[in-house]
């Protein structure tokens, strides 16, 4: 069976290679014979031309006049100031989506359109010299599958100058106004501006592929399938199967693997603030391999792995299944997955006012390098939340993003996500309540007794409900004071972190996953009984009421994050489902007697 699986993988790999032969044959494999003009030879007043696509896939030419060369504007880099004209640029100004448009002076390539000034009255652009872009090819490709955004993103030029990298239009299919309110700020962190696009890849079929050549529209597919997101710019330079584009970073993530696509430009929206291109993604033609300060580099015919996501939506009147994929990147993947869920919800369920959402998410993953974790069976992170109120979708967006980020950015081991499964259940109305009182049926108990507690829950309209629950007092409970805490898991975590701080400092990936899975379940109340006897946590695991011999050994150890004291011990713990998102914490004391 193992040999059959290996053979199947070889067949799949061969099929992917054959698939890419189609676009490579159609697109040709030109080797650039264009000379490069050094920055030192560029003088004010020099004239040239530039290339870009403003409609369809036809590359058009515009005019360029050099204003001057600004030295050492970026780290060890120069910027060529140019005034653009022709092709309607006097009306639109520099256009988002022109990032990477090649500039030629005296028939030699000088660089790529990359920077602009907002609200500028003239189409003035900053050009990244081509020599700084070709240096990307000399960077070592040490891609690990993890990917991180550089902290230097957005700091290439002083913000006081008003000059910034041209934002990359992000074509998002089916983007509703309400979804845009949530998505736009999150994507802006990565220099991406959401714009409307045709769904999927209907705009261009494989048999009508344009040539991948300087000036053509080139993009990066961040998500595909039922959710489509692609950032668009312009191809600057091609040499064989290698390309350069954008002239500035997308995220400055260094070595990456992201699908590289072609597409269709539907037109340009002129704007006083910043004009942009309407773009719809086409087929994958390769992979982006480098995302650096001076642009992106890619290779035609290369495959880029993506993270598959499957979403099931269930409501009283409907049930639907959606599938999409997002790029594998530890900072971008959580945002894109949350964006995809939000987009699907608004497309299928509308504005979601006064709605309750039950969310269940399973993330399957394994270690990306050869470690002990990688030789174990694949791990799972299982999370459940109940969200309600005026804007549960925004809450879902924040939770999905933060929890997946904690997993992917963990400090223990690099991981590779295999798939994400999400189930979303909707029901109308707001399911929200507050715990307003906790009343035990007595103040004194004995080991083995049953304690009855009356919990008063008040909903958001002020209506009260009394829930009765029985708590078995363990037969091993020792005489003394017993403190009872009642509340939702997330509220009790604050109490727990003060009581046993070592439980909240995981020392390995498994411990972090267990900690994440303790959150959520907002419609369940946890009931925890604590005594004043202390204990220890060892590597994040609690040892309550440790035997005296073990206590002496642990107490004499030097300070170590793996061994920490606890200030009380858990006698019992149980949970109670109440059907609503609960807020508030109740507390009372009991006396345990023989």
Q: Is residue 368 in a domain?
A: yes
Indicate whether 330 and 349 sit together in one domain.
yes
**Choice between 243 and 23, residue whose per-residue pLDDT is larger:** 243
Is pLDDT at 5 greater than 90 in this prediction?
no
- Among 94, 112, 133, give the residue marking a domain's end: 133
Is pLDDT at 160 greater than 70 in this prediction?
no
pLDDT at residue 204 in the model = 44
Q: Is residue 461 in a domain?
A: yes
- Backbone angles phi and psi of 131, in degrees to 5: -65, -35
Is pLDDT at 269 greater than 80 in this prediction?
yes
Q: Is residue 442 in a domain?
A: yes
Q: Is residue 104 in a domain?
A: yes
pLDDT at residue 496 in the model = 77
No. of helices (H) and no. of strands (E), the chain: 10, 33
Please measure the distance between the N-terminal and C-terminal CA atoms of the chain and give it in whole angstroms.
63
Q: What's the full length of the chain, in residues?
A: 594
- Among 98, 133, 168, give the residue marking a domain's end: 133
Indicate whether 404 and 467 sit together in one domain.
no
3-state secondary structure of 272: coil
Mean pLDDT, the chain, rounded, equals 84
Is pLDDT at 31 greater than 70 in this prediction?
no
Indicate whether 422 and 457 sit together in one domain.
no
Asked if residues 526 and 486 have their Cβ atoms less than 8 Å apart, the reply is: yes
Full domain range(s) for residue 127 = 39-133
Nearest one of 203, 178, 221 to 267, comparing CA atoms: 203
Q: Is residue 33 in a domain?
A: no
Is pLDDT at 244 greater than 60 in this prediction?
yes
Give per-residue pLDDT as tens, 308-365: 999 999 988 889 999 999 999 999 999 999 989 998 998 887 766 688 999 999 999 9
**pTM, full prediction:** 0.82
Give per-residue pLDDT as tens, 528-582: 988 876 665 665 566 555 555 555 555 555 555 566 666 667 888 999 999 999 9
Instruction: Summarize the confidence of residues 23-31 as an average pLDDT.
Output: 47
pLDDT over 70 for what percent of the chain?
Answer: 79
Indicate whether 408 and 502 sit together in one domain.
no
Asked if residues 465 and 432 have their Cβ atoms less than 8 Å apart, the reply is: no
- CATH number, domain at 340? 3.10.20
Q: How many CA atoms lie within 13 A of 262 on its CB side?
A: 27
H or E element: which one contains 6? Answer: helix 2-27
Number of domains in the chain: 3
Indicate whether 402 and 506 sit together in one domain.
no
Least confident of 69-73, 104-108, 177-181, 184-188: 177-181
Indicate whether 355 and 397 sit together in one domain.
yes
11-19 long-range contacts (CB < 8 A, ≥24 apart) are 16/303, 17/301
Assigned token pair, 463: 């209506």
Indicate whether 419 and 535 sit together in one domain.
no
Nearest one of 400, 330, 324 to 365, comparing CA atoms: 330
Is pLDDT at 150 greater than 80 in this prediction?
no
Indicate whether 440 and 583 sit together in one domain.
yes
3-state secondary structure of 356: strand
Say how far apart CA 204 and CA 245 lie, in whole Å: 21
pLDDT at residue 368 in the model = 72
pLDDT at residue 580 in the model = 94
pLDDT at residue 130 in the model = 97
Asked if residues 343 and 326 have their Cβ atoms less than 8 Å apart, the reply is: no
Indicate whether 330 and 413 sit together in one domain.
yes
Q: Is residue 34 in a domain?
A: no
Is pLDDT at 583 greater than 80 in this prediction?
yes
Tell me, letter by letter, the H, E, C secondary structure of 414-443.
CEEEEEEEEEEEEEECCCEEEEEEEEECCC
pLDDT at residue 489 in the model = 87
Asked if residues 408 and 417 have their Cβ atoms less than 8 Å apart, the reply is: yes
Indicate whether 541 and 423 sit together in one domain.
no
Instruction: Summarize the confidence of residues 400-418 as an average pLDDT.
Output: 91
Give per-residue pLDDT as tens, 176-224: 777 777 888 888 888 777 876 655 454 444 445 668 999 999 999 999 9
pLDDT over 90 for what percent of the chain?
Answer: 55
Is pLDDT at 12 greater than 50 in this prediction?
no
pLDDT at residue 149 in the model = 52
Indicate whether 44 and 128 sit together in one domain.
yes
- Among 78, 110, 133, give the residue marking a domain's end: 133
Say how far apart CA 367 and CA 378 lie, in whole Å: 8
- CATH number, domain at 105? 2.40.10.10
- Backbone angles phi and psi of 332, in degrees to 5: -85, -35
What residues pair up with 385 in beta bridges, in sequence order?
359
Q: Is residue 245 in a domain?
A: no
Assigned token pair, 180: 């845009």
Q: Is residue 117 in a domain?
A: yes
pLDDT at residue 16 in the model = 46
**Residue 15's pLDDT band (cuts 50, 70, 90):** very low
Give per-residue pLDDT as tens, 511-530: 889 889 988 999 999 999 88
pLDDT at residue 164 in the model = 86
Indicate whether 466 and 563 sit together in one domain.
yes
């Amino acid at each position: 069976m193992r040999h059959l699986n290996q053979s199947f993988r070889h067949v799949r790999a061969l099929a992917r290679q054959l698939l890419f032969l189609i676009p490579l044959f159609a697109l040709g494999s030109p080797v650039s014979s264009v000379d490069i003009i050094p920055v030192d030879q560029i003088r004010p007043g020099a004239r040239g031309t530039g290339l870009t696509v403003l409609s369809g896939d036809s590359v058009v030419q515009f005019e360029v006049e050099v204003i001057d060369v600004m030295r050492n504007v970026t780290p060890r880099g120069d910027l060529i100031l140019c005034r653009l004209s022709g092709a309607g640029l006097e009306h639109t100004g520099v256009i988002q989506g022109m990032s990477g448009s090649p500039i030629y002076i005296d028939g030699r390539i000088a660089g790529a359109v990359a920077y602009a000034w907002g609200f500028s009255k003239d189409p003035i652009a900053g050009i990244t010299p081509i020599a700084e872009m070709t240096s990307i090819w000399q960077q070592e490709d040490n891609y690990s599958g993890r990917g991180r955004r550089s902290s230097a993103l957005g700091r290439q030029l002083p913000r006081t100058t008003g000059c910034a990298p041209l934002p990359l239009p992000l074509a998002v299919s089916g983007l509703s106004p309400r979804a845009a309110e949530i998505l736009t700020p999150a994507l802006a962190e990565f220099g991406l501006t959401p714009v409307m696009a045709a769904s999927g890849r209907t705009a261009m079929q494989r048999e009508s592929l344009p040539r991948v050549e300087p000036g053509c529209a080139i993009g990066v597919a961040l998500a595909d399938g039922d959710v489509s997101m692609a950032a668009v710019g312009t191809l600057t330079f091609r040499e064989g199967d290698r390309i350069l584009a954008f002239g500035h970073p997308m995220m400055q993530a260094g070595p990456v693997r992201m699908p590289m696509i072609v597409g269709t430009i539907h037109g340009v929206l002129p704007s006083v603030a910043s004009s942009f291109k309407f773009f719809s993604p086409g087929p994958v033609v390769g992979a982006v391999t480098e995302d650096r300060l001076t642009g992106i580099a890619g290779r035609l015919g290369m495959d880029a792995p993506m993270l598959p996501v499957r979403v099931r939506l269930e409501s009283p009147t409907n049930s639907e299944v959606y599938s999409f994929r997002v790029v594998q990147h530890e900072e971008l993947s959580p945002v894109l997955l949350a964006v995809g869920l939000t987009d699907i919800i608004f497309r299928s369920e509308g504005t979601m006012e006064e709605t309750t959402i039950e969310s269940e998410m399973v993330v399957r993953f394994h270690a990306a390098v050869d470690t002990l974790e990688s030789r174990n069976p694949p791990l799972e992170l299982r999370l459940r939340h109940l969200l309600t109120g005026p804007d549960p979708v925004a809450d879902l967006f924040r939770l999905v993003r933060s929890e997946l980020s904690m997993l992917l950015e963990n400090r223990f081991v690099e991981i590779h996500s295999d798939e994400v499964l999400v189930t979303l259940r909707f029901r109308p109305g707001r399911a929200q309540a507050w715990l307003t009182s906790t009343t035990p049926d007595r103040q004194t108990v004995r080991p083995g007794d049953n304690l009855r507690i009356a919990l008063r829950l008040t909903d958001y309209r002020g209506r009260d409900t009394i829930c009765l629950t029985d708590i078995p007092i363990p037969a091993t409970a020792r005489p003394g004071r017993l403190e009872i805490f009642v509340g939702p898991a997330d509220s009790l975590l604050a109490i727990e972190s003060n009581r046993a701080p070592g439980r909240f400092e995981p020392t390995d990936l498994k411990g972090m996953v267990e900690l994440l899975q303790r959150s959520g379940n907002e419609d369940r109340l946890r009931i925890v009984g604590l005594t004043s006897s202390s204990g220890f946590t060892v590597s994040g695991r609690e040892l309550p009421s440790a035997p005296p011999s073990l206590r002496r050994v642990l107490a004499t150890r030097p300070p170590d994050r793996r061994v920490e004291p606890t200030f009380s011990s858990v006698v019992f713990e149980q949970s109670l489902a109440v059907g609503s998102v609960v807020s508030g914490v109740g507390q009372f004391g009991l006396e345990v007697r023989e």
